[in-house]
Structure 1
């Protein structure tokens, strides 16, 4: 019954959710090239390993519709949820809280991204972890697979290997030589998977998407990741609390301190199995360093630590006899109970976030993106059937291929396409006059109507302003340019607010 409730809820969220740019971008990338090899060549440097794109292209070949995006994501999430409910050995409260957490019902299920695969593979690793003598080849292949779901999951692979290593070193009596051979085999196969991930991801053409460390003290950055790890996981709070944190410095300090208690306290829930506790702490630190030095972390990235914690909790219940840790289990009993309570509170916060998303996307008229509404509008206008669509910011066009077949033009890169390259080698600074001029040139050269999407509400701007967009883009607006733009275009549609993204816009048609 629990699984069926989850499936109904996740399905409702999945089919009601309007796909946004990052979801459709993956499908657009997966459909590049004439075959898988050509797709993989063009994928190189995108910033994600290849597994999700391979799955999407294979599914599209069978179905032939963009709907495979939702089908693939929901199928993978359902498989992970099935394992969570029926196969993982978890206490009922932890299983329930994990099942209905925001990441389980929305971010890794309704949201069609590659992070749900990580959850499924992690749970498969748990199921194959304790089947007698660990199979180094099988676990190594699963580690390699996990490393190629997303860059952040490479840290999870390191966590599992650390757990295995400490488990061997601290075990009493000493394990047989075959156990060490299995570990080395798994580590070697995992290393191949990690190298494959790195070769696919780097060098990235999305160089603007990386953290800019120029002029910053590397040692201080590392120290901040070590000392203030909890500050990188504030998205574990529901949106209402996050709003308070952003609005008031006092609330920010209070809730950051509470998050530190919950995160570090959760580690104590593994105190009866020191290898698991060391591994979970290393994953926490590894993700913090990744967020500090490479990419900023959003909730979908941060929640991977929760998935790892669920996995190692399943591996440590009940404690297994014959290991050095077990002698201290009774002494650590109170500490473990306090730690488990902290972890359950942390998961309860994710359930609260999940409730927020269920209410927002099922019971309010506020979608994640207005791309579907725009698609319906364009389809209702025969005169816009062949229109070229441009947008500022450029990334507003990335979700459109899911709903319409109109050509899209990227202003910053001066080319047709639906996949934005977040590169420093582009027109980083644009004015409204530049947008108007480019639209006019397209209209004349392509002999087609031109639709312009603007995220800025021009009627609300009364003075010259320079606005930062995306990672390093700049948009300049002046009253004179706004007046000229409005005289040469017609505002044909204004879409309302969205929840969880910035994909709403005014729609202008070039006269």
Structure 2
């Protein structure tokens, strides 16, 4: 028990209460993690991590995918020891548990913010059950908070943590800028002015952080996923940015539970109203920091940086948006002790209370989303992906043991290496492989006839059965249609091609619905 004591003079009942809370979280997050079927983006990182003969080869081959290297290095190291894809879940859950431990026992937060943050969807699912690199950001952010006072003495410790944070994912580069902004404005606005050594420490940390940021961008750019970006051709950049800042909530709609997002999709009027409400909640949450101007500026700058990223580079999913929530939690913890000693007038106190209310509502919405994830996993039993069931089906068929698996869209095969060892073929790139490159330099348009022709060619040249996974339900297509897939891919379907395809294949399995992805399919075996 002594290992989880956060304060020596904390009452025993408080320590026991925190221990119980942490154990409940650990049990819930572990159950979600081990029950959740992995999907393509999770396995894609592992496929990158284990390629090449050594770490240098791995780093060279992963360059340009869009993610820096920290997550891949951790996976590679764990895989060397364990030798199994299960390291995905082990590493992700270990990192999440460390973050939860710091949140419960070490960060100085109001109990309401601590509890809502701990059981929000990002803490129990997105950064724990979902085995991706974004959970590392939360851990490093909390370590920065805990190291702040000690690290600010010479800047080296914080600089190293900033550099590490910048190499967890591209979005975290914005968070590094936020921490540096907080430090800078805290220095220049503090009275009396700090000693010169404090500025030297800031400069040292900034220089080390800059090296980390450069390393991140050298790993990420130039990207080979040139199609996986916002298409801004013909757009007015200034107008796009203006819209983003006028209605920031439209870029953070994933903060709503799925039940609310369904209204957004179904009713355009509701969409505008909910986006306006989210703008109030997001911007209002900043006022939590109204009595700490450096923190307020930093949080606003991070929000602005995310809005620019989501608008001009890549649309933000929940995993990206939630990083702003984590930064807010961290900056509140970082300023909690100082803010407690600040005397404010009644008006300022009212503003802070309004901001705290907005932030608590945001965190409560994340808890509702977390409840939805628990219900989906253990009550409705609707998986994120059908890849696990497909793997079990392939293994149950001796005749498909050595089958080549291909799919449309191609990325449906990326999750399969976690469950089966079958070779996978990428139709649009015309090569064997398990990692799709989202580039325009491929076959952007395919027909069902093209897919069937490729399958027959592989069957003859490789002397192996061929399995085709299709996301489209062919029996529901009655007229010629072109379907957009992924970013710039198209699939054309005609009744004649469908008839020819069905006569040349056997439909051996149809999988049911999924929640949160598109990884369900009809399974065909070429005759």
Question: Which among 122, 143, 153 is matched to residue 124 of structure 1?
Answer: 143
Take 2:129 and 2:403, find their aligned partners in 1: how far apart are those partners? 31
Aligned residues of 1:371 and 1:503 also touching (Cα < 8 A):
yes
Whether the 8 Å CA contact 2:449–2:497 is kept in 1: the answer is: yes
Alpha-carbon deviation of 1:471?
Answer: 0.4
Which residue of the partner structure matches residue 35 of structure 1?
54
Offset of residue 249 of structure 1: 1.7
1:137-158 CA deviation, whole Å, 9 max, x = no partner?
0000000000000000000000
Is the contact between residue 74 and residue 110 of structure 1 (CA under 8 Å) also seen in structure 2?
yes
Deviation at 1:407, TM superposition (A): 0.1
Partner residue of 1:450 out of 450, 455, 466: 466
Could you tell me which of 27, 30, 36 is aligned with 1:17? 36
Q: Does 1:371 align with 2:390?
A: no
Distance in 2, Cα, partners of 1:494 & 1:331:
61
Paired residue for 2:415? 399
In structure 2, the partner of 1:250 is 269
1:510 aligns with 2:526: yes
Equivalent residue, structure 2, for 1:465 = 481
Displacement of 1:473 after TM fit? 0.3
Aligned match for 2:187, one of 163, 168, 191: 168
In 2, distance between residues paired with 1:169 and 1:321?
A: 21
Alignment of 1:490-509 (within 5 A): 490-509=506-525
Kindly report which structure 2 residues correspond to 1:161-310, keeping only aligned pairs within 5 A, or say none.
Answer: 161-310=180-329
**Cα distance per residue 1:263-320 (max 9 Å; x no partner):** 1111001001010011001000100100111111000000000000000010121325
The aligned runs of 1:407-486 (5 Å cut-off) are 407-486=423-502
For 1:225 and 1:329, the matched residues in 2 are separated by 33
**Displacement of 1:453:** 0.3
Q: How far 1:258 sits from its partner (Å)?
A: 1.2
What is residue 390 of structure 1 aligned with on the other side?
Answer: 406
> Secondary structure of 1:213's match?
coil
Q: More displaced, 127-136 or 22-31? A: 127-136
Q: CA deviation at 1:364?
A: 1.9
In the alignment, is the contact (CA less than 8 A) between 1:272 and 1:319 conserved in 2? no
Displacement of 1:96 in angstroms is 0.1
Q: Would the aligned equivalents of 2:63 and 2:219 in 1 still touch at CA under 8 Å?
A: yes
Note if contact 2:37-2:387 (Cα within 8 Å) is conserved in structure 1: yes
Where in structure 2 are the equivalents of 1:336-351 lying within 5 Å? 336-351=352-367
Are the equivalent residues in 1 in contact too, given 2:291–2:339 (CA < 8 A)? Answer: no
* TM-score, structure 1 as length reference: 0.98
Over 3 Å counting, the alpha-carbon distance change for 1:450 and 1:419 in structure 2 is same
Residue in 2 that maps onto 1:70: 89
The answer to whether 1:103 aligns with 2:122 is: yes
Cα distance in structure 1, aligned partners of 2:150 and 2:314: 36
**Structure 2 Cα separation of the partners of residues 78 and 192 of structure 1:** 29
SS at match of 1:466: strand
Match of residue 380, structure 1, among 396, 399, 404: 396
Instruction: Figure out how many residues of one structure are paired with residues of the other and give that number.
Output: 508
CA distance in 1, matches of 2:283, 2:310: 18
Give how far 1:327 is off: 5.3
Question: 56, 71, 77: which one pairs with 1:58?
Answer: 77
After TM superposition, give the deviation of residue 219 of structure 1 in Å.
1.4
Q: Deviations 1:421-469 (Å, cap 9, x if unpaired)?
A: 0000000000000000000000000000000000000001000000000
State which drifts further: 405-414 or 131-140. Answer: 131-140
Question: How far apart, CA to CA, are the structure 1 residues paired with 2:347 and 2:153?
Answer: 29
Distance, in Å, in 2 between the alignment partners of 1:23 and 1:210 is: 20
**2:33–2:128 CA contact under 8 A, matched in 1:** yes
Q: 1:218 to 1:8 in 2, by over 3 A?
A: same
Alignment check: 8 A CA contact 2:46 2:75 kept: yes
| Contact 1:367–1:499 (8 Å) recurs in 2 | yes
SS at match of 1:131: helix
Please say if residues 272 and 329 of structure 1, whose CA atoms lie closer than 8 Å, have aligned partners that are also in contact.
Answer: no
Query: What CA distance in whole angstroms lies between the structure 2 residues aligned with 1:134 and 1:107?
Result: 35
Given the superposition, is the C-alpha separation of residues 371 and 126 from structure 1 closer, same or farther in structure 2, using an over 3 Å criterion? Answer: same
1:131: how far off?
Answer: 3.4
Q: Distance in 2 between matches of 1:132 and 1:454?
A: 53
Q: Is the 8 A contact 1:49 1:200 kept in 2?
A: yes
Over 3 Å counting, the alpha-carbon distance change for 1:277 and 1:245 in structure 2 is same
Q: Structure 1 unaligned runs (5+)? A: none
With over 3 angstroms needed to count, the CA separation of the structure-2 counterparts of 1:43 and 1:479, relative to structure 1, is same
Q: How does 1:140-151 map to 2 (within 5 A)?
A: 140-151=159-170
- Closer, same or farther: CA 126–454 of 1 in aligned 2, 3 Å: same
Q: Aligned-residue CA RMSD in angstroms?
A: 1.1
The alpha carbon displacement at 1:329 in A equals 6.1
Change in CA separation of 1:151 and 1:65 when aligned onto 2, cut-off 3 Å = same
**Which 4+ runs in 1 deviate beyond 3 A?**
131-135, 326-331
